[in-house]
Amino acid sequence: MTQVAEHVAIIMDGNGRWAQRRGRPRLVGHHAGAKRVREIVQACPEVRVKYLTVFAFSTENWKRTQVEVSGLMRLFKRYIRRETQALIDEGVRVRFIGDRIKLDDTLVQLMDELELVTSGNSTIHLTIALNYGGRDEVTRAAQRMAREVEAGKLAAQSVTAEVLASFLDTHFLPDPDLVIRTSGEARISNFLLWQSAYAEYEFVETLWPDFTALQFTQLISRFGTRDRRYGALTA
Ligand code: FPP
């Protein structure tokens, strides 16, 4: 039986190595990686992927050099400015997850504007995780829930998995069906921890700037034949 991967999430890893192998600064790899995002978004409708979530910057990435961090922040701004019209034209709705508190005002404003101008779109839902960490997200959700309990708006005994999920950054998304990580590393690095409880995983050797739409569609086809049992028996 073939099934559809409605929501695919990607850990776009390997930009730094891609650049270093060419004797170039790591940021060159990030720029090459950013170009790949458009190609993968465009490949989604054909393989019936409705939601694409990409990990652009983690809560741990602040530990990188100041040159790399500020270069990435500039890249995100440039990406938003450059891609806005194409995203509107292609029917892409963009949303961001992660904590915006540490991001600079100009970037947050660009993110808000992009969310607003694409809010009427529904062909593809692109979610960009920026200053995102799974544990940080669950911690922030727990704090918000605790405040509601303190204020008498929420009863502790009515907190179910569904209620907790409604406090997460991803409250508007279905859980991912498939999580792809490029560059040969087989770990999940704090990405969508709660949401990926029953996701299938693909770890591929390709460095993110070399990852093609063809490879993406092949992984989606392979997903179609997987037997997902969610802890139960095969039907
Ligand atoms: C991991 O590769 C990649 C990142 C930390 C940044 C991801 C950002 C992009 C692909 C570009 C921007 C994307 C958008 C949506 C605007 P790495 O640097 O850890 O690579 P390495 O493991 O080879 O060092």
3-state SS, one letter per residue, for the chain: CCCCCCEEEEECCCHHHHHHCCCCCHHHHHHHHHHHHHHHHHHCHHHCCCEEEEEEEECCHHHCCHHHHHHHHHHHHHHHHHHHHHHHHCCEEEEEECCCCCCCHHHHHHHHHHHHHCCCCCCEEEEEEEEECHHHHHHHHHHHHHHHHHCCCCCHHHCCHHHHHHHCCCCCCCCCCEEEECCCCCCCCCCCCCCCCCCEEEECCCCHHHCCHHHHHHHHHHHCCCCCCCCCCCC
CA distance 228 to 198: 8
CA distance 111 to 105: 10
pLDDT averaged over the chain? 96
pLDDT in tens, 58-100: 999 999 999 999 999 999 999 999 999 999 999 999 999 999 9
177 is catalytic: no
User: Is 54 near ligand 1, meaning CB less than 6 Å away?
Assistant: yes
Instruction: State in Å: Cα 67 to ligand 1 middle.
Output: 14
Backbone angles phi, psi at 117, to 5 degrees: -70, -20
Given a contact cutoff of 8 angstroms between Cβ atoms, the answer to whether 173 and 125 are in contact is yes
State mean pLDDT over 154-169.
97
Neighbour count for residue 88 (Cβ, 10 Å):
16
Instruction: State in Å: Cα 28 to ligand 1 middle.
Output: 10
User: Is 90 near ligand 1, meaning CB less than 6 Å away?
Assistant: no
15 is catalytic: no
Angle at CA of residue 26, ends 127 and 55, nearest 5°:
15
Instruction: State in Å: Cα 12 to ligand 1 middle.
Output: 6
Query: What local confidence, expressed as pLDDT, does residue 87 receive?
Result: 98
pLDDT in tens, 131-150: 999 999 999 999 999 999 99
Query: What local confidence, expressed as pLDDT, does residue 179 receive?
Result: 98
pLDDT tier at 229, thresholds 50, 70, 90: confident
pLDDT in tens, 167-194: 999 999 999 999 999 999 999 999 999 9
pLDDT tier at 108, thresholds 50, 70, 90: very high
Query: What local confidence, expressed as pLDDT, does residue 235 receive?
Result: 54
Residue whose token pair is 């560059």:
183
Query: What local confidence, expressed as pLDDT, does residue 216 receive?
Result: 98
Neighbour count for residue 123 (Cβ, 10 Å):
12
Query: What local confidence, expressed as pLDDT, does residue 226 receive?
Result: 83
The side-by-side arrangement of strands in the sheet containing 92-97 is 92-97, 124-132, 51-58, 7-11, 178-181, 200-203
User: Is 178 near ligand 1, meaning CB less than 6 Å away?
Assistant: no
pLDDT at 1 over 90: no
Domain locations in the chain? 7-133+175-223
State mean pLDDT over 200-227.
96
Query: What local confidence, expressed as pLDDT, does residue 234 receive?
Result: 66
pLDDT at 30 over 80: yes
User: Is 209 near ligand 1, meaning CB less than 6 Å away?
Assistant: no
CA distance 225 to 205: 21
State mean pLDDT over 27-55.
97
pTM of the model: 0.96
State mean pLDDT over 103-107.
98
The CATH code for residues 7-133+175-223 is 3.40.1180.10
> Percent of the chain at pLDDT above 70?
99
